[in-house]
Amino acid sequence: MRCCSPGSPDVAQTLADVATISLLQQRTAQRSNVLNEQLQTALNSRVLIEQAKGKLAERQGIDMERAFTALRGYARAHNRRLSDLARAFIDDSEPFPGLGS
């Protein structure tokens, strides 16, 4: 019974196949987790930006599109990430001259 002896090539190949499948499953799960984290971060950023747009639109009496344009322009002019600017604007944690605060 060559197939069942511990040193046979068939056993070694089967163990190698199982190890390969396990590694591939781990990589797939890890990539899925990373993607889920990235999507959640993007969603959270979008929520912050929408809140900041609403706050700015209300303060300045403008529509949401103009509010977004103003926020984006301010972020670019001051070399800030839009989501970071939005968070600080919502929290009133810093002044934003010319942006309605």
Expressed as residue numbers, the domain containing 82 is: 8-91
70 in a structural domain: yes
Number of Cβ atoms within 10 Å of the Cβ of 88: 17
Asked whether residue 99 is assigned to any structural domain, the reply reads no
- pLDDT computed for residue 95 by the predictor: 86
Give the count of beta carbons closer than 10 Å to the beta carbon of residue 48: 20
* Residue 15's CATH number: 1.10.10.10
The pLDDT assigned to 27 comes to: 92
Query: How far is Cα 101 from Cα 91, in angstroms, rounded to an integer?
Result: 11
For residue 56, being part of any structural domain is answered with: yes
Please tell me what DSSP assigns to residue 99: T
Residues of the chain where predicted confidence (pLDDT) is lower than 70? 1-7, 100-101
Distance CA 80, CA 99 (A): 14
Which pLDDT score, from 0 to 100, does residue 7 have?
A: 65
The structural domain count of the chain equals 1
Q: Find out whether 50 and 57 touch, Cβ atoms under 8 Å.
A: no
Output the pLDDT for position 47.
96
pLDDT for the residue 87: 96
pTM for the whole structure: 0.69
In this prediction, residue 12 carries a pLDDT of 85
The pLDDT assigned to 94 comes to 86
